[in-house]
Each structure stands twice: as C-alpha cells, then as structure tokens.
Amino acid sequence: MKKKLYGSLALAVAFVLGATLVQAASASGPSAQDQSSPDRAPVTLRAMGKAVQKVRVVSSVDTQTFATSIPTLLVGANTTIKVTAGARAFLDMRFAAESECYNGVAGNWCVVEIRVDGTQANPASGDDFAFDSSDGTLGDYWESHAMEAWTKVGPGTHTVEVFVYRVGTASFRLDDWTLTVDQSAA
C-alpha cells in the first residue's frame, strides 16, 4: 500500500513540476519568430563550403593612418586565389587589426571592407559595417577589432583586398593586422 501511495505521489510531483517548467519556458519571453518586426522580415544570408583546401595569410606590423572618406587599399592587405577550370570556390575571409578611430565627432566611424575582384564580400553592407568608432575625443586608444566576410567565385584568378575609410571627420589608424582567406570547394 505504501509503495502505491509513494508511486502515485511521485507521479503527481513529476506532473506538476513538468507543467511548471513548460509554463516557465513559455513565459520567459517571445520566441525569435515573435520578435521579428511585422513590417520587415529579417534578412539572413547563408552559404556553405566543403573542407578547407587552401589557406592564405597576409600580415603586417606597420602602422598606417588614413583621413579619407574614399575607400583606400590598405597597403599589403591583398592576396590572390586561383580556382581551377570548371570549379567554384567558397571564400571565408577574416581581418583583424589593432585599431584606433579618433579625432572625429561622436558618432563618426571607421570602415573596413573585404573586396573580391573589386566587389565587397558578404555581408555587403557598404559603409554600414563600423569596424571602429570615434567617441569625439582626441584619444580613442587602441583596441583589437575583427571582421569576417564571405563570397563564392568561379574559375580563374581572384584578388582579395582590404579597403579602409572613415564616415565623418575621424582619422583611422591600423596596426598589427592579419588577413586570412580560407578557400574550399563551393
């Protein structure tokens, strides 16, 4: 008799506990689907490559400073990728650097773009990708920043380059940078 009572009691506790957990999970907030704006669906870009076949790495410890709103090639931050005839490649590109975006007004920002054959790689957001920003003071100080971009390319020789510029009046200083390109079959 005691075994039946304890078994029934354990079952009842498990049921109540399970119902409470389900209720708590649903009350913790809206799902990702519920959070999207009814006016605009979120845009997500997706791509896949296979196993990495080649890796290209270019680095520099030389400081370069820019004070232009015209996209300018970061000296030395380029490499070429070769894709054999009849093939396609997926390129996953990363850029990391010691960065300082300074002397501008608050709200100015500094941009880094990774381009393949002159076209900005995904996410191709123009000057909307702030690599660093100015707080409106003379000394923003150095930080380490990084970004990642990707694209697919067809057969031939392709050039990967890093361009930099500012939005506003800030100066942009980069140092100790590395550009890495992983190439895989698309």
pLDDT in tens, 106-162: 888 999 999 999 999 999 999 988 999 988 776 667 889 999 999 999 999 999 999
pLDDT in tens, 16-32: 333 333 333 333 333 33
Question: Looking at 45-185, which runs of residues are DSSP E strands?
Answer: 52-60, 64-66, 72-83, 89-102, 109-116, 119-120, 130-133, 143-153, 156-167, 171-185
At 129, which amino acid appears? Answer: F
Q: Is the pTM of this model over 0.85?
A: no
| Dihedral over Cα of 162, 168, 173, 177: its sign | negative
Identify the CATH number of the domain defined by range 52-185: 2.60.120.760
pLDDT in tens, 113-128: 999 999 999 999 999 8
Q: Hey, where are the domains in the chain?
A: 52-185
